[in-house]
Amino acid sequence: MSKRKKRQSSHGPTGKLGFATRAVHAGEDRERYADSITTPIVQTSTYAFKDSKEIRAYTRGNKERFEYGRYGNPTETVAQRRLAALEGAEDCVLSASGMSAITTTILALVRSRDHIVITDDAYKKTLEFCSQYLQRFGVECTIVPFGDYDALDRAVGRRTRFIFSESPTNPYLNIFDLVRLREIAKKHNVLTLIDSTFATPYNQRPLEFGVDLVIHSCTKYLAGHNDILAGAVLGSKELVDKVRDLHNAFGGVIDPHCCYLLLRGLKTFPLRVAVQNETAMRVARFLEGHPCIKRVYYPGLESHPHHKTAVEQMTGFGGVVSFDVKGGLAATNRFLDNLKLCYIAPSLGGVETLITHPASVSYYNLTRKERYALGITDTLVRLAVGVEEADDIIADLDQALKASRRPRKRAGG
């Protein structure tokens, strides 16, 4: 066996090992610096060559090694390999945030006069980038209603480069039928991109359905502790290399310490998501039967419009539950103000339970009419469960909802 092949076969467990085993070990060389169990943080910006002979071997492709921090880091490489093993991808490139991963991927795949299609339920900043910024580079964007597959089919033209969507979406947790997406893309010979942050590789692996590239905000479930920013793009080596080339030029690199924290988070990632799936299901059922709740949006509920699709292509329904509170904006604010366990914060996927009010946090700069046109009502709330006891989360929601029915006392009243 050649030295190169031997090195590749030592990158953690391979074969048919379980998901949790891969989450702990995949991507690592068996022998590590100082015999450490954890992957070390290689905190350096550049790498020294032994002599001119090694430089020539490297530049001619005869030697694998690192050159400069913008082009790669040993800690980063392990994290990329592990994520690829979990997603079932040939390759992965990490970047400094989820949005960095999205924007770099889009720009790497288009040229002036190209056209892309995106669904209207995509993340706000993704839609903003596609509909406003891309036109500066001569790239057209068509936004189609989520779930209208006929409109999606009609929107694809001869200059269309790819179709972009999310599954589940934010905040209504709509589920994209990945089989129909593949059929439409194959018919028109275009690429498909799915932001699978809310699902994670534990609950859904779009590449298995024929999707070309999968994007994650690793900030959320993959790292899982609300302490880093990171993004990942996964798919075939050919496509990921195109993204990596532009990524290297843009310089949106991830810090080695963030990669270390991401690797740490991935070791417990399957355990955390399994708990969050179960807790979110219990919370969703509790809320659906609560007198202070108008409607609950969770793909695990039979009442969700895409429940059947979710059952067919997901192994779990995730840790996010969205819902409408009865009583208007005032009651919704009273509910938020009375929470004692859940933190009001705009992220998700960590060990702490977070809750956010999209109308006042993410869409505060829009008029009420503009928000409602996007489905962002005054009473919509998004809950991201952590790993606390489900009973404690439910108890906190219950007391806050009961308090939402009691108007604040006027001063001096």
**Active-site residues: which are they?**
70, 123, 195, 220
In this structure, what token pair is assigned to residue 271? 């355990």
Distance CA 18, CA 216 (A): 21
Q: Angle 83-88-91 (CA atoms, 0-180°, nearest 5)?
A: 60
Taking alpha carbons only, the member of 137, 130, 84 closest to residue 113 is 137
What is the distance, to the nearest Å, from the Cα of residue 333 to the centroid of all Cα atoms in its chain?
Answer: 28
Per DSSP, which regions of 50-109 are E strands? 91-95
Q: For residues 94 and 87, what is the distance between their CA atoms, to the nearest angstrom?
A: 14
HSE, CB side, 13 Å, CA atoms: give it for residue 44: 12
* DSSP class of 253: P
Q: Enumerate residues 6+ apart whose C-beta is below 8 A from 289.
A: none
Question: Which of 167, 195, 170 shows the shortest CA–CA distance to 361?
Answer: 170
CA–CA separation, 248 and 132 (whole Å): 24
Q: Is residue 223 left, alpha or beta, with left meaning phi > 0 and alpha meaning psi from -120 to 50?
A: alpha
Measured distance CA(20)–CA(274) in Å, rounded = 11
Tokens standing for residue 409: 């006392």
Distance CA 375, CA 121 (A): 9
